Amino acid sequence: MICKICHKKNDNIRKLSKHIRDYHKDITIKEYYDVYIKTKTEGQCVICANATKYSNLGSGYSKTCSTSCSAKLFRFNLKSNEERYDKFKQKISDNMIKEWKKREKTGKKDEIIEKAKKTKKETIENMSYEEKIQKFGWINKLSESEKQKFIQKNYWETLYKYWQEITDEQFMKITKKRLNTMSERQKSDYVYLITEKDKEIIDNKLKELLNIK
């Protein structure tokens, strides 16, 4: 352990720390670490990139900024070892089963479930239509490549064939349903602005185009 300021040799990191405190009083241990030891990537959380806390001269800065990021890093490292990760998941599962059995005996299980339902309901009620689609629309949970495959198979192949063979009556039924949906969305300040007069005009135009009386 050589002091980067005066080049004095020290037996270990503890003695180097003491040497800095005793002989270089114009600089703190943290300042010494920042100037002479710290790397470019240190001081940032490896999970979210937020600033991390300095610990000591030997270990420098923490790798994570919070307990939640620390837990994520722990799981990430576990996944590199399949056997350890499987044991960890099984342990978590066993502990949760035991915990819920305790809650069931004390009556807390029903209380927690009802509270969770209420919170979920309030959260959904406060979400916009677009947010609901993004969160609960199952297609949005697919990867981009999976989504494109689904669109190719179900739109360009299946739906295209369906629209080619659809009857006039079926077309009118679908169109009216869409107009009603757009009208309902308007009531909740959605983007479409369809009035009853607009619906009547569109309906008459469709009948005229399809020659339906």
Residue 186 lies in a domain: yes
131 forms bridges with which residues in the sheet?
none
44 forms bridges with which residues in the sheet?
51
Residue 154 lies in a domain: yes
Cβ pair 165, 173 in contact under 8 A: no
Domain match, 158 and 205 both:
yes
| pLDDT score recorded for residue 42 | 92
The pLDDT confidence band at residue 120, using thresholds 50, 70 and 90, is confident
- Report pLDDT digits (tens) over 76-119: 888 888 888 888 888 888 998 898 888 888 888 888 888 888 88
Domain boundary among 126, 159, 178: 126
For residue 12, pLDDT beyond 80:
yes
What number is the average pLDDT over the span 184-205? 57
Residue 51 lies in a domain: no
Residue 63 lies in a domain: no
What is d(CA 114, CA 162) in angstroms, rounded to the nearest whole number?
A: 44
What are the percentages of helix, strand and coil residues in the chain, rounded to 5?
70, 5, 30
Q: Which of 125, 4, 197, 88 is nearest to 205 (CA)?
A: 197
- Parent domain of 177: 143-210
The pLDDT confidence band at residue 191, using thresholds 50, 70 and 90, is very low
Domain boundary among 64, 98, 126: 126
Residue 117 lies in a domain: yes
Residue 167 lies in a domain: yes
How many structural domains compose the chain?
2
